[in-house]
Amino acid sequence: MKLNGSEILIECLKEQGVDTIFGFPGGAVLNIYDALYKHRDEITHILTSHEQGAAHAADGYARATGKVGVCIATSGPGATNLVTGIATAMMDSVPMVAITANVTLPLLGRDSFQEVDIAGITMPITKHNYIVKDVGELARTVREAFRIAREGRPGPVLIDITKDVTAAVCDYEKKLPKIRPTATVSAEMLRLDEAIQMIHESRQPYVFVGGGAILADCSEELLEFVETIDAPVCDSLMGKGAFPGDHPHYTGMLGMHGTKTSNLGVTNCDLLIVLGSRFSDRVIGNAEKFAANAKILQIDIDPAEINKNIGADYAIVGNLKDILAELNRKLPRLSHQKWMAEIAMNKQSYSLAYDESTLTGPYVIEELSKLDDGSFVIATDVGQHQMWTAQYYKFRSPRTLLTSGGLGTMGYGLGAAIGAQVGCPDKHVFNIAGDGCFRMNLNELATAVRHQIPVVEIILNNHVLGMVRQWQTLFYEGHYSSTTLSDGVDFVKIARGFGCEALAVTKREEVGPALRRAIASKRPFVLDCQIGMDDSVWPMVAPGAAISDIIIGK
């Protein structure tokens, strides 16, 4: 069958099971949009307000569903507007395919109108990327891009297609993706005996769960493993939801804004079992003092993560789900009664606390968590509200927290929430943002209204760049340089101008009714929650300090 390049692209996307694309049209990509129009009953296109919003929406769609997210943009500035979203996906190992069009082949390299070397620009922030200059290579490239995005440690792949390729005609033959079965026995499986011996010999084991556990879809195996070895569990920001946040063995997040129980527990344990984590600097603090009394057993699918930031005494490279299943099969049920009693006492002594006399971010987040009936997906932007969400929300299942952990992208959350809501129409999706983050991509409210995507935007509005101000208070003698946002912007009026429902929340007693009203509306809804400008995230570990050196706060 002879098809032009744009039609081949659409057919290949259908082969891969793509049902949704997030994007923004332009001159170089018009042929593709014409093909999308013809296949609009098979692939839904969500027109965003900005290409960055499209990239974040594809990312949120991928995180919430486990599928590959797809975004599309035109050449030049359209393509470069995807860069932050692609880098976000790369840092957090999100499977995504970004499709851009470029000028025609004769115009490449001539500084043509809206020409940019997007493949060169994105080379450091993609698993792989392509520029397609021959229509005969297009189908193979698309299929390979999706395979690379999914396999091993997931990540983004970029396909740049010259405009003449989108119009050129060649033969197309349908090929469905081959299912690649996971090997049940591998060389790594034969190396479990030493790991099992380390677990047997430990008297004070601790399990640290990272985002790799979400990607491996191993929550059931993880729960069985923890209960089998009778160990406390902490997680990274990216690992939230892999292990139930309301389980007795769970002690909270580890690191700079982790709980005192988790930080002291990891400091005092004799075996740290690390599952799918890259040992971020925000987790480990002072590397020389991190888990100094412990042997470290690290399990990760990416060999590049072994011994990169923290040296492992023993490491296993492979699929976390398979490895945990095999460990569960081989390990007897263990008991660490004394250690678990110590951890339980610390949890009681060092529980999180906040000012209960006024409206605060933690209170809003706790009230939202109480309403969660298992149908909530939470996106966040980046800053204090992100850390409060990690501390106070009880994430009970995977793929329910969408947040930029690695790149720390302000403005990420609203686009991600839109993508998640499109991918999971039966869920209630919220974005928790600070007012600084909300300003960056608030134009995506128009996207939500245009497509009637019922996301709820919760703004914890302190009229400052809260996390930066907190650092200025602690480490810069209160020099509040360019962090105050007291400019009289009314987010409720702005939201209503976009066509959203909106409410201002100024008192604690207003929070519950406002949240229930937003959920019941089934429309895009904005809650502007006014909190104090000097509310801070506690506990905190100062940069460069050991994670056991914890600042509790006022």
Tell me the catalytic residues.
51, 113-114, 163, 467
Q: Which strand (E) or helix (H) includes residue 78? A: helix 77-80
**Which residues, at least 6 apart from 324, have a Cβ–Cβ distance to it below 8 Å?**
218, 221, 222, 224, 225, 275, 299
CA dist 472 and 159 (Å) reads 42
**Of residues 255, 239, 317, the one with CA closest to residue 287:** 255
Quote the tokens at residue 168: 């050129």
Answer for the pair 430, 458: CB distance below 8 angstroms, yes or no.
yes
Label residue 399 left, alpha or beta by phi (over 0 means left) and psi (-120 to 50 means alpha): left
**Which stretches of 307-403 are assigned E, i.e. beta strand?**
314-317, 376-380, 401-402
Tokens 């109108």, residue located: 113
Quote the tokens at residue 499: 């066509």
CA dist 531 and 537 (Å) reads 13
Please give the DSSP secondary-structure letter assigned to residue 125: G
Q: Which strand (E) or helix (H) includes residue 208? A: strand 205-209
- Kindly report the CA angle at 70 between 11 and 527, in degrees rounded to 5? 140
**Which residues, at least 6 apart from 316, have a Cβ–Cβ distance to it below 8 Å?**
188, 191, 192, 195, 297, 298, 299, 300, 323
**Which residues, at least 6 apart from 286, have a Cβ–Cβ distance to it below 8 Å?**
544, 545, 546, 547
CA dist 160 and 116 (Å) reads 10
